[in-house]
Structure 1
Amino acid sequence: MSWSNTYVGIPYKDLGRSVTGCDCWGLAKVVYQAELGLTLPDYRDGYVSAEEQAEVASLIGKETATSIWALVEAPKEFDILLFRHGRLESHVGIYVQHGVMLHMATEDQAKHEDYLSPRWHRRLAGIFRFTAGLKEAS
């Protein structure tokens, strides 16, 4: 988990997109840029606050239907885990290794958690791979 340890402790900041503070999507943007050299779509203009779950879910629904995101069954490092919050798909985590994700805990900080635990696994809505600019490892 060496790469992911770098991000543990980043504070939560609504609509944040940097290591000084971010929301769950901001954390994904920061990690993809720093670790993979990839710029993920910002999506910040698509919602007013991470608390607006319906707006976030609508935005995620539109984006997961595009060709830059591929729904996959078996996760690989850096894949995006999409979770339901209530009935809405509005939270993301980053796959680190089997059973471990890095995610932004709302009103807290970035941390590792077990996405296979009952709390998270029952809410897992899908696993997505960013396909724009990624190369398969040989």
Structure 2
Amino acid sequence: MNHINDYLSVPYVDGGRDMAGLDCWGQPRLVLHNVFGKPLFKSFGHVRADDKANLTNAYSKLVDQFKPCQPKEQALACGFRGQSLIHMGLCVFMDGQLHILHTSRKKGPSIVKVADFKRLFFEVKFYEHTG
């Protein structure tokens, strides 16, 4: 799948890492690889969405493969509550504007404005892949 829109029909599946179903970690991972040609970063498919401690631990193990940046295409958008990573998305251009592609248990895959994504979290950090 080589287009952003291809990922809007993939259902949310907790721990999902392929086109049969993706979670908020699996979706940006595959889009970065399949659409933008980046190497696949570690999947951590065993980490479930409700396990924020292990999600944050997985993030801490990979953060050195990324560098902080401003919101821009291909940047990961990481939503935090306190020090805990609770959600991820990916910055993409749609209709000439920067948006966040993400997926969730309640709504499935969607594309939202960056400002709307930021309102969902205590803090949002953006990272570009350097690994």
TM range (shorter): 0.7 to 0.9
How far apart, in 1, do the equivalents of 2:118 and 2:16 lie? 26
Aligned to 1:78: 74
How far apart, in 1, do the equivalents of 2:41 and 2:55 lie? 14
Q: Structure 1 residues 14-23 or 29-38, which shifts more?
A: 29-38
How far apart, in 1, do the equivalents of 2:68 and 2:92 lie? 17
Question: Contact between 1:95 and 1:102, CA under 8 Å: does it hold in 2?
Answer: yes
Equivalent of 1:121, from 108, 118, 122?
Answer: 118
Structure 1 stretches lacking a partner, 5+ long: 133-138
Q: Deviations over 1:90-122 (max 9, x none)?
A: 2111101345110011244211112302xx324
Aligned to 1:136: none
Matches within 5 A, 1:103-118: 103-117=102-116
Q: Deviations over 1:50-90 (max 9, x none)?
A: 210111012213322x1x201012x2211101102x43222
Query: With structure 2 as the length reference, what TM-score do the two structures score?
Result: 0.81
Matches within 5 A, 1:6-25: 6-25=6-25
Deviation at 1:44, TM superposition (A): 1.6
Query: Number of residue pairs matched?
Result: 124
How far apart, in 2, do the equivalents of 1:51 and 1:100 lie? 25
Deviation at 1:126, TM superposition (A): 0.8
- Tell me the percent identity: 23
Deviation at 1:6, TM superposition (A): 1.8
Query: With structure 1 as the length reference, what TM-score do the two structures score?
Result: 0.77
Q: Structure 1 residues 35-44 or 14-23, which shifts more?
A: 35-44
Structure 2 stretches lacking a partner, 5+ long: none
- The secondary structure found in structure 2 opposite 1:30 is helix
Aligned to 2:57: 58
How far apart, in 1, do the equivalents of 2:118 and 2:74 lie? 18
Aligned to 1:69: 66
Question: Contact between 1:99 and 1:116, CA under 8 Å: does it hold in 2?
Answer: no
Question: Contact between 1:9 and 1:111, CA under 8 Å: does it hold in 2?
Answer: no
How far apart, in 1, do the equivalents of 2:58 and 2:44 lie? 10
How far apart, in 2, do the equivalents of 1:95 and 1:48 lie? 23
